[in-house]
Every structure is written in structure tokens, then in C-alpha cells.
């Protein structure tokens, strides 16, 4: 904050005031004036307290919350990221956030009353919604209904669509935590009506994840599973592995609380694996301990197989499909290609219509060298998930291996329309050009791939091939000497 107000001179000014014993520092990055000094300082303000707030309010809000195109990261996101990644130091991260919460809420309240914008973007409502995690972790959310309600009014008045959706999502979470499911649904649906219109994929994913838990609590397992899969698909598209892990974990814990331990176990194990992969083993251990999960992959497989047998005997087709889908994903992550095929084929026999299952089956068949079967599975996956550019690019590999080059070109053309800037797009075009023997096109696309991702070994190998001379004949006719 000091840097935003005073710029480069801020550290020297703070050091001078601190050396005079006027500042207290409860945390290395947090200063504050004790009440007597604060009262004295306020009396020295030429424009008074309200005038100073009006002058500094926009600066304070910009410090706490950034817009997408701005170069700095809003301080509330720094504090929130610390909550998410603190692991065993969670208590300290919560304490640090709470120490600054009065200042944050004071500026939110000022912004709700006074912030002006002619661009349809307001910081104060978005900042109010961004406090949701600390409210949940400190059990303050239910006490902040009034703040969120006024933030919603301000967002609507200022035509801030993202701010309105974010606050609706926060209000939905508040109602869900208080078991007011109809009100939660109303807020979630209001948010979901906005996010797709403004292209906010993360917000859309978060609402699908919340609605999945709501449907689960209402006993609608099939709807809950479909919403969960949709949320995970969105998270995968934007490469948000933390949200994938958190969503799987929360959904699994909800299942566990409802007495569905067999269905919860694979979800919780998958969430724990993801937390470990992103460097948060503390969260992984918490999930495993909460669910009494097996500690080794071998024990987990035995656990899952026992669960599958029970579900087969009971004829629980929907739950059987859920556990099989998780087993497919788990085996795919561990590159157990034969295991993927086995579980996916059983799932397909149950009528699986999830494009991601068919895609993992196609990938596994390709890795096992059965490109014909892989092509069939990829075709079905594309039919079910036609907007997935990565899926189409992977399909191209198999089509090239089968020498179906025109089909490969058609798939690449669609992938290029869906994601024109994807790094793998020029690589696939270079591979297609090589399959056609076109060194010039291969060179052009390999160079573009290297421009998008410098130092890429696969692209460099294609460029080296394109720059090499045409294959020389094995031998030349000799001179007969005549």
C-alpha cells in the first residue's frame, strides 16, 4: 500500500517513522499506527479524514485488487494465494490475512459508496467477493451477508457484470454453508447466467463445482456427477490443477459425509495425488487421513476392485460407472495403458458418453500400438467433445500414423479455428508436412513451433529434418573402364 501511495520513497519514509517508534509491525510486511498516533495523524490532514479517504480510496482499491490488464498482482490475491498454498502453515496465513482484514473491509465499504467507473468495472464488489476464502476459514462468512448484499447492489448499479457474478457466487456459498439450498441455487444460477456471457471460464467452473455439491446434498447423484465432470473439464482447459484437486476433495468429503465411502474413496485419492503433484502434501495427507485411504497404489487398487465388485453385485450401474471413470483417470495418470483399456472398455459397455473417457481409451490404445482401434475411439471422442482442440490435435497423431493425411489435415483445420495460438498446433502441422515429404512446409511450421516455444526438442528435430538434403542414393553406378 505504501508503495502505491508514496512510490519509491515509501521504504525510506516508513523506516524514518518506525525509527521514531511511531509504527508497529505485527508482521514483516504489515505496519500500523497505534490508536493515539493515528488520532494525531488524522488531525494533521489538510483535507480531513473523509477528504483523505476520497483522495486515497482509488489508490487503495487498486493496490488490493488488480484488473486483468494491469501489471501488478492485487494484494488480496497474494494473501489468498498464501491461504491456498500454506499447507502446515495455514494458521499463520489465516492470522496474517485477518490482521489486514479490517483495512480491506474499510476500503470495500468506502468503494461501495464512492467508487466511480464508466467502464463497467468496479474494484469494491470484486474485492468483497475475493474475501470469501478468509471468511470461510475464519467462520466469518455468515456474518458478512450485509457486506455482500451491498456489494451486489453496487455491482449492479455500476454494471460490473464480473463483480455481480462473483458476489452472487459468494452469496450462494454462504447459503450452502447454512443449508439453505434453494437460496444457494438461486444465487448460483444467477452467477451462471453471467459467467459464460463474459467468457469467465474459471467462474463458470467454480459455479458448476458448487452446484455439483448442492445436487449431491439434494440426492441427485447423476446430476451431481455430470456437473462435477463439467467443472473438472473447465479446470483442465485452463490448467488450474489446484481447483481440480480442491473440487475433487470437497465433492469426495461431501460423499463421505453422506455415507457413500466407496464412491468417495477414489475421488479423495485422486485429489490427494493432485495435491502432491502441485507441492501440497499436507492437504494430501489430510484427505487420506479423513477418509482412511490406502497409503500405497497397490492397496488403492485392491480397495477399488473390492468396491467395484460390490457395486457389480448390487447392480448399482450409475455408481459403478462413476468408480470406473475414476479408475480410468487414475490409471491414465500412471501410464497403465492396459489397465486404462480394461476399465474404459467396461465403462463403454455401460454406455459411457463422456468424451474424456473415449479420449483416454484412444490414447491408451495408441500407446499400445493399436492405431486402428485408437482412431475409432478418437472419432467417438471428437463426436462427443467437438470443441476440444487438444483432443483433435492428438487425433492427428493417430491419423498420420495410419497415413490418413487428408483426415489429419481436416482435424487440424478445426483445431486451428478453436485454438489458433496453441503451441502444439504448428508442431502437428510440421509433422503432417513431414508425412507428406514437404520439407518447405515442415520448415515453416517447425520454425513457428520454436517461436511459440523456444528450445522445443521435437520441433528442432523436425526443423533439422526439413533442413537436411534429400536422401542420397545408396550407391552410384561405377565406371566400366571402357
Higher-pLDDT residue of 322, 100:
100
Q: What is the pLDDT of residue 215?
A: 94
For residue 360, what are the contacts with CB-CB under 8 A and spacing of at least 6?
A: 328, 329, 332, 340, 344
| DSSP letter for each residue of 233-244 | HHHHHTT-HHHH
For residue 458, pLDDT over 50 is answered with: yes
pLDDT band at residue 151 using 50, 70 and 90 as cut-offs:
very high
CATH number corresponding to 200-292: 1.25.40.10
Rounded mean pLDDT, 127-137: 89
Domain ranges, ordered by start, for the chain = 28-43+53-181, 200-292, 421-467
User: Which of 239, 242, 235 is closest to 209 using CA atoms?
Assistant: 235
For residue 340, what are the contacts with CB-CB under 8 A and spacing of at least 6?
A: 328, 331, 332, 360, 361, 363, 364
Range of weakest confidence among 383-387, 401-405, 432-436: 383-387
The cell numbers describing 395, all together, are: 487425433
Burial of 68 (0-12, 13-18, 19+ CB in 10 A): exposed
User: Which of 356, 378, 355, 354 is closest to 366 using CA atoms?
Assistant: 378
| Rounded Cα–Cα distance for residues 108 and 149 (Å) | 12
| Rounded Cα–Cα distance for residues 98 and 192 (Å) | 30
Asked if residues 368 and 340 have their Cβ atoms less than 8 Å apart, the reply is no
User: Which of 69, 68, 147, 163 is closest to 107 using CA atoms?
Assistant: 147
Higher-pLDDT residue of 119, 420:
420
| Rounded Cα–Cα distance for residues 126 and 200 (Å) | 13
pLDDT band at residue 136 using 50, 70 and 90 as cut-offs:
confident
DSSP-derived letter for residue 469 is P
For residue 184, what are the contacts with CB-CB under 8 A and spacing of at least 6?
A: 172, 173, 175, 176, 210, 214
For residue 46, what are the contacts with CB-CB under 8 A and spacing of at least 6?
A: none
Q: What is the pLDDT of residue 477?
A: 38
Rounded mean pLDDT, 9-20: 68
| Rounded Cα–Cα distance for residues 435 and 275 (Å) | 40
Higher-pLDDT residue of 9, 340:
340
| Rounded Cα–Cα distance for residues 181 and 179 (Å) | 5
Rounded mean pLDDT, 279-285: 85
CA distances from 397 to 60, 376, 379, 405, 454 (A): 52, 13, 13, 10, 22
For residue 172, pLDDT over 80 is answered with: yes
The phi and psi torsions of 323 (rounded to 5 degrees) equal -65, -40
Containing H/E element for 31?
Answer: strand 30-32
Higher-pLDDT residue of 272, 52:
272
pLDDT band at residue 218 using 50, 70 and 90 as cut-offs:
very high
Other beta carbons within 10 Å of 7? 8
Range of weakest confidence among 51-55, 154-158, 420-424: 51-55
Asked if residues 170 and 152 have their Cβ atoms less than 8 Å apart, the reply is no
For residue 234, pLDDT over 50 is answered with: yes
For residue 9, pLDDT over 80 is answered with: no
The cell numbers describing 306, all together, are: 473390492
SS3 27: strand
For residue 472, pLDDT over 50 is answered with: no
Rounded mean pLDDT, 69-86: 85
Q: What is the pLDDT of residue 246?
A: 93
Strand partners, 24: 32
Higher-pLDDT residue of 276, 295:
276
The model's pLDDT over 286-307, given as tens digits with 9 standing for 90+, comes to: 888 776 655 566 666 677 777 7
Q: What is the pLDDT of residue 238?
A: 85
Residue with cell 492428438: 394
Rounded mean pLDDT, 254-260: 87
Rounded mean pLDDT, 189-203: 93
Amino acid at each position: 500500500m505504501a508503495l502505491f501511495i508514496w512510490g519509491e520513497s515509501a521504504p525510506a519514509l516508513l523506516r524514518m517513522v518506525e525509527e521514531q517508534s511511531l509504527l508497529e509491525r505485527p508482521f514483516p510486511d504489515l505496519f500500523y499506527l497505534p490508536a493515539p498516533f493515528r488520532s494525531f495523524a488524522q488531525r494533521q490532514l489538510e483535507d480531513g479524514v473523509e477528504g483523505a479517504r476520497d483522495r486515497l480510496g482509488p489508490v487503495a482499491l487498486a493496490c488490493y485488487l488488480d484488473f486483468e490488464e494491469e501489471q501488478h498482482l492485487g494484494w488480496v490475491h497474494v494473501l489468498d494465494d498464501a491461504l491456498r498454498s500454506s499447507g502446515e502453515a495455514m494458521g499463520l496465513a489465516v492470522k496474517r490475512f485477518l490482521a489486514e482484514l479490517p483495512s480491506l473491509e474499510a476500503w470495500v465499504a468506502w468503494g461501495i459508496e464512492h467508487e466511480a467507473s464508466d467502464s463497467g468495472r468496479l474494484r469494491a464488489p470484486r474485492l468483497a467477493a475475493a474475501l470469501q476464502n478468509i471468511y470461510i476459514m475464519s467462520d466469518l462468512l455468515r456474518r458478512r451477508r450485509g457486506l455482500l448484499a451491498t456489494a451486489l447492489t453496487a455491482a449492479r448499479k455500476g454494471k460490473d457484470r464480473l463483480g455481480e457474478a462473483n458476489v452472487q457466487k459468494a452469496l450462494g456459498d454462504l447459503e450452502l454453508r447454512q443449508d439453505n439450498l434453494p437460496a444457494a441455487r438461486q444465487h448460483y444460477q444467477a452467477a451462471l447466467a453471467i459467467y459464460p456471457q463474459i467468457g469467465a471460464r474459471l467462474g463458470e467452473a467454480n459455479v458448476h463445482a458448487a452446484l455439483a455439491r448442492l445436487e449431491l446434498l439434494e440426492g441427485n447423484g447423476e446430476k451431481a456427477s455430470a456437473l462435477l465432470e463439467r467443472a473438472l473439464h473447465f479446470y483442465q482447459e485452463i490448467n488450474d490443477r489446484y481447483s481440480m484437486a480442491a473440487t475433487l476433495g470437497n465433492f469426495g468429503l461431501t460423499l463421505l459425509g453422506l455415507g457413500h465411502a466407496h464412491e468417495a474413496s477414489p475421488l479423495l485419492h485422486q485429489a490427494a495425488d493432485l495435491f502432491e503433484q502441485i507441492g501440497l502434501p499436507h492437504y494430501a495427507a489430510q484427505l487420506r487421513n479423513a477418509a482412511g485411504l490406502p497409503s500405497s497404489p497397490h492397496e488403492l487398487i485392491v480397495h477399488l476392485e473390492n468396491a467395484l465388485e460390490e457395486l457389480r453385485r448390487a447392480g448399482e450401474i450409475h455408481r459403478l460407472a462413476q468408480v470406473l471413470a475414476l479408475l480410468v483417470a487414475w490409471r491414465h495418470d500412471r501410464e497403465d495403458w492396459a489397465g486404462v483399456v480394461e476399465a474404459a472398455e467396461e465403462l463403454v459397455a455401460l454406455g459411457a458418453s463422456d468424451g474424456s473417457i473415449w479420449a483416454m481409451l484412444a490414447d491408451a490404445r495408441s500407446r499400445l500400438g493399436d492405431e486402428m482401434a485408437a482412431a475409432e475411439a478418437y472419432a467417438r471422442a471428437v463426436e462427443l467433445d467437438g470443441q476440444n482442440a487438444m483432443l483433435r490435435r492428438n487425433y492427428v497423431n493417430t491419423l498420420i500414423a495410419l497415413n490418413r493425411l487428408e483426415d489429419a489435415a481436416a482435424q487440424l483445420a478445426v483445431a486451428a479455428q478453436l485454438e489458433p495460438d496453441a503451441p502444439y498446433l504448428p508442431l502437428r502441422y510440421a509433422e503432417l508436412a513431414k508425412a507428406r515429404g514437404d520439407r518447405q512446409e515442415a520448415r515453416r511450421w517447425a520454425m513457428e513451433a520454436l517461436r511459440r516455444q523456444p528450445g522445443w526438442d521435437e520441433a528442432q528435430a523436425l526443423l533439422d529434418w526439413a533442413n537436411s538434403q534429400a536422401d542420397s542414393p545408396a550407391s552410384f553406378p561405377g565406371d566400366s573402364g571402357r
